[in-house]
Amino acid sequence: MNCGPLCEAINEVTEGYQGKDFSHMGMVYVKNDSTFIIEASGNSVRLTTLETFKSYTKETMYVGRLKRRYRKLIPKAISFSLQQIGIPYDDAYLYDNGSYYCSELMYDAFLFAYGKPFFQLVPMTFKSPKTNTYFPVWEDYYHKLKMEIPEGKLGCNPGGISTSDKLKIIGTLN
Query: Would you list the domain boundaries of the chain?
Result: 5-173
pLDDT tens for the chain, 174 residues long, are 557 788 888 888 888 999 998 889 999 999 999 999 999 999 999 999 999 999 988 888 999 999 999 999 999 999 999 999 999 999 999 999 999 999 999 999 999 999 999 999 999 999 999 999 999 999 999 999 999 999 999 999 999 999 999 999 999 987
User: Which of the listed CATH numbers 3.90.1720.10, 3.40.30.10, 3.40.50.300, 3.40.50.2020 matches domain 5-173?
Assistant: 3.90.1720.10
Q: Give the separation between CA 13 and CA 6, rounded to whole angstroms.
A: 11
In three-state form (DSSP H/G/I as H, E/B as E, the rest C), the secondary structure along 110-125 is HHHHHCCCCCCCEECC
Q: Give the separation between CA 158 and CA 145, rounded to whole angstroms.
A: 23
Would you say 20 and 37 are in contact if contact means Cβ atoms under 8 Å apart? no
pLDDT at residue 2, as a whole number = 54
pTM of the model: 0.94
Q: Give the separation between CA 62 and CA 167, rounded to whole angstroms.
A: 12
Give how far Cα 144 sits from Cα of 92, 139, 148, Å: 11, 9, 10
pLDDT at residue 1, as a whole number = 52
Across 19-96, the runs of DSSP E, i.e. the strands, are 27-31, 34-41, 44-49, 61-66
pLDDT at residue 145, as a whole number = 96
- Enclosing H/E stretch for 136: helix 136-145
Would you say 80 and 113 are in contact if contact means Cβ atoms under 8 Å apart? yes
pLDDT at residue 101, as a whole number = 97
End-to-end Cα separation, the chain, in angstroms = 13
